[in-house]
């Protein structure tokens, strides 16, 4: 009888930290710069240079470690990890070997089988290597060292993950946390987040009672969640097959650990380095960098300033009546959720204990935050720091103007853009000021609206005919023309009523 084979998976996840400059030098971190234009003697590994730690990188790392429930040891140090490769000009990577910034944490991951608590072995900081590309013609490779020295956070999990889907969910949860906290942008296309699952199967107990495993394979540099799930699925099946074919030999004790690559287009993994070819990293303490000794008060300050974490906040939102989808959209970035919170509270307050149903308040907060604010963020007309509490309150005032019929929704969107522009011009204005100055208040005077409707009907005889002939889509056209005639200020509800009456008559 075959023993049960239990997938035993740990993940190493690398993230570029959201800093402006590199880990040990002042070169800018950017992804679209001219090759080798963001390098200096420090990151080129010239002799005689002195690396100096980036304060923000250390702070972001400790924040992430705290969010992962890690212990922050009183002493952390740097080590050199040696390997010989053209993307690494010093021939060693500055990393942390035995005394990292964070240890012994966990991350709770929601899975279809319930919440799974995945242990975090360690969180450490290191520097990224450069980019090596192969020339299409000719027997050489080319190197761009702009990425060399980018602050790279590595989160190492315990082998607690039990399957391919769980591996993907773990990586996704980790990404959400890092983006939410502003630790990393985690853009996988840009290589800002890379996952390396270590896959093995627990075979059962050996003669001494200790568990036996299949040889560990480390899958290198997976850069999408989909490839994490596919590669782990493939690897579990491959281990099962190899083990069943040769149970006596296919064990960790006999074959050790190997490194494998993943070909996404073919959906297969392939051997890169066997145990015998494994790198001999020759770790040694980095003499050029002094240790980092975090002050307890500083760590506690960072802990205290962590926002409500995504999991708790999501639960709170769902209890409030938001859909899971909306909650997830808000939680994509902490500052959007923070903005929503203030905005929503202000709206509720405006209504002095429930003139609007709660449901309507939620709907308004969602619409404006996820449409208008999101759009402005995408178009980069506003940035995260602009979305402070004061602006949320001002936006709530604007929404009240729309909801009480002072201006219509389209004008509301226009006023929103003008508020942003005024803010950028350092001449901030309230919604009410803009409406007054530009005379944008909506017209609800039915005789005036009747005139706009008549104008639209007269100028669009064809559309009127089409409508009466059964082509109901022409209504929108006529509606638009009447609104245009009013300069966008007519109360759309009244326009609709009057138009229907006239067409029906």
Partner 1 sequence: MALSKQEVLKVGTLSRIRLTEAEVEKFGTQLSAILGYVDKLRELDTRNVEPLAHALPIHNVLRPDEPRPSLTPEEALGGAPEAAGDFFRVPRVLDEGTSA
Q: Which residues bind partner 1 (CB under 8 A)?
A: 14, 19-21, 25-28, 34-41, 44, 52-58, 75, 77, 82-88, 93, 99, 126, 128-129, 131-135, 139-145, 152, 220-221, 261, 272, 279-280, 282, 285, 287, 289-293
> What is the full DSSP assignment across 286-348?
-TTS--B---HHHHHHHHHTPPPPHHHHHHHHHHHT--HHHHHHHTTSHHHHHHHHHHHHHHH
Nearer to partner 1, 52 or 320 (CB): 52
**CB atoms < 10 A from the CB of 170, how many?**
27
> CB 75 → partner 1: shortest distance, Å?
8
Q: Are 480 and 459 in contact (CB under 8 A)?
A: no
Distance CA 124, CA 15 (A): 11
Nearer to partner 1, 36 or 493 (CB): 36
Distance CA 359, CA 91 (A): 60
> CB 87 → partner 1: shortest distance, Å?
5
Return the bridge partners of 95, or none.
79
Distance CA 441, CA 414 (A): 12
Return the bridge partners of 93, or none.
81
Nearer to partner 1, 287 or 469 (CB): 287
In this structure, what token pair is assigned to residue 413? 């969107």
Nearer to partner 1, 256 or 291 (CB): 291
Distance CA 419, CA 151 (A): 37
In this structure, what token pair is assigned to residue 291? 């240790």
Q: Which helix (H) or strand (E) holds 79?
A: strand 79-82
Distance CA 26, CA 15 (A): 19
DSSP, res 384:
G
Helix (H, G, I), strand (E, B) or coil at 470: coil
Return the bridge partners of 6, or none.
202
Nearer to partner 1, 127 or 166 (CB): 127
> CB 31 → partner 1: shortest distance, Å?
14
> CB 45 → partner 1: shortest distance, Å?
12
Q: Kind of pairing, strands 257-263 and 216-219?
A: parallel
Nearer to partner 1, 147 or 202 (CB): 147
Nearer to partner 1, 17 or 400 (CB): 17
Q: Are 45 and 149 in contact (CB under 8 A)?
A: no
In this structure, what token pair is assigned to residue 144? 């761009």
> CB 158 → partner 1: shortest distance, Å?
22
Nearer to partner 1, 140 or 472 (CB): 140
> CB 39 → partner 1: shortest distance, Å?
5
Q: Kind of pairing, strands 6-16 and 151-157?
A: antiparallel
Place of tokens 């099946």: 237
Nearer to partner 1, 36 or 371 (CB): 36
In this structure, what token pair is assigned to residue 57? 């990188």
Q: Kind of pairing, strands 193-205 and 151-157?
A: unpaired
**CB atoms < 10 A from the CB of 58, how many?**
18
> CB 59 → partner 1: shortest distance, Å?
9
> CB 85 → partner 1: shortest distance, Å?
6
> CB 15 → partner 1: shortest distance, Å?
13
> CB 144 → partner 1: shortest distance, Å?
6
Please calculate the CA angle 403-404-407 and round it to the nearest 5 degrees.
80
Nearer to partner 1, 97 or 475 (CB): 97
> CB 19 → partner 1: shortest distance, Å?
5
Nearer to partner 1, 135 or 473 (CB): 135
Q: Where are the beta strands (DSSP E) in 147-273?
A: 151-157, 193-205, 211-213, 216-219, 257-263, 268-273
Nearer to partner 1, 84 or 470 (CB): 84
> CB 88 → partner 1: shortest distance, Å?
7
Kindly give the interhelix angle for 492-504 and 446-459, rounded to the nearest 10 degrees: 60
Distance CA 9, CA 198 (A): 6
Distance CA 247, CA 189 (A): 40
Q: Are 217 and 198 in contact (CB under 8 A)?
A: yes
> CB 36 → partner 1: shortest distance, Å?
4
Q: Which helix (H) or strand (E) holds 449?
A: helix 446-459
């Amino acid at each position: 009888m075959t023993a049960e084979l239990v997938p035993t998976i740990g993940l190493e996840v690398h993230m570029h930290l959201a800093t402006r400059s590199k880990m040990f030098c002042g070169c800018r971190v950017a992804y679209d710069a001219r090759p080798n234009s963001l390098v200096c003697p420090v990151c080129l590994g010239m002799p005689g240079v002195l690396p100096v730690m980036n304060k923000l990188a250390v702070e972001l790392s400790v924040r992430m470690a705290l969010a992962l429930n890690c212990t922050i040891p009183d002493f952390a140090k740097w080590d050199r990890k040696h390997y010989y490769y053209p993307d690494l000009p010093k021939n060693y990577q500055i990393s942390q070997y035995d005394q990292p910034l964070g240890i012994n944490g966990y991350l709770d991951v929601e899975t279809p089988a319930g919440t799974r608590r995945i242990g975090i072995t360690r969180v450490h900081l290191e520097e990224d290597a450069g980019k090596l590309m192969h020339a299409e013609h000719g027997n050489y490779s080319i190197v761009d060292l702009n990425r060399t020295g980018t602050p790279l956070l590595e989160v190492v999990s315990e082998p607690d993950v039990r399957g391919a889907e769980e591996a993907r969910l773990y990586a996704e949860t980790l990404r959400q946390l890092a983006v939410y906290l502003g630790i990393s942008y985690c853009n996988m296309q840009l290589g800002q987040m890379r996952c390396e699952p270590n896959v093995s199967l627990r075979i059962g107990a050996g003669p001494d009672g200790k568990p036996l495993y299949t040889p560990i394979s480390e899958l290198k540099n997976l850069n999408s969640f989909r490839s994490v799930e596919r590669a782990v699925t493939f690897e579990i099946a491959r281990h099962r097959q190899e083990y069943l074919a040769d149970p006596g030999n296919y064990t960790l004790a006999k074959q050790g650990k190997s490194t494998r690559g993943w070909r996404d287009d073919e959906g297969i993994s392939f051997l890169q380095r066997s145990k015998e070819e494994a790198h001999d990293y020759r770790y040694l303490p980095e003499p050029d960098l002094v240790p980092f000794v975090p002050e307890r008060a500083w760590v506690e300050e960072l802990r205290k300033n962590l926002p409500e974490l995504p999991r708790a906040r999501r639960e709170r939102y769902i209890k409030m009546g938001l859909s899971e989808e909306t909650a997830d959209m808000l939680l994509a970035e902490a500052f959007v959720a923070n903005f929503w919170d203030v905005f929503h509270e202000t709206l509720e307050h405006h209504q002095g204990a429930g003139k609007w149903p709660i449901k309507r308040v939620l709907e308004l907060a969602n619409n404006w935050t996820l449409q208008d604010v999101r759009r402005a963020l995408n178009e980069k007309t506003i940035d995260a720091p602009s979305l402070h509490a004061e602006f949320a309150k001002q936006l709530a005032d604007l929404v009240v103007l729309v909801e009480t019929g002072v201006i219509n929704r389209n004008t509301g969107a226009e006023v929103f853009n003008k508020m942003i522009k005024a803010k950028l011009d350092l001449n901030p204005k309230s919604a009410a000021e803009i409406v007054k100055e530009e005379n944008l208040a909506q017209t609800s005077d039915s005789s005036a609206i009747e005139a706009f409707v008549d104008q639209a009907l007269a100028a669009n005889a064809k559309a009127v005919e089409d409508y009466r002939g059964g082509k109901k889509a022409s209504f929108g056209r006529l509606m638009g023309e009447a609104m245009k005639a009013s300069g966008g200020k007519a109360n759309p509800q009244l326009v609709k009523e009057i138009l229907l009456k006239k067409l029906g008559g």
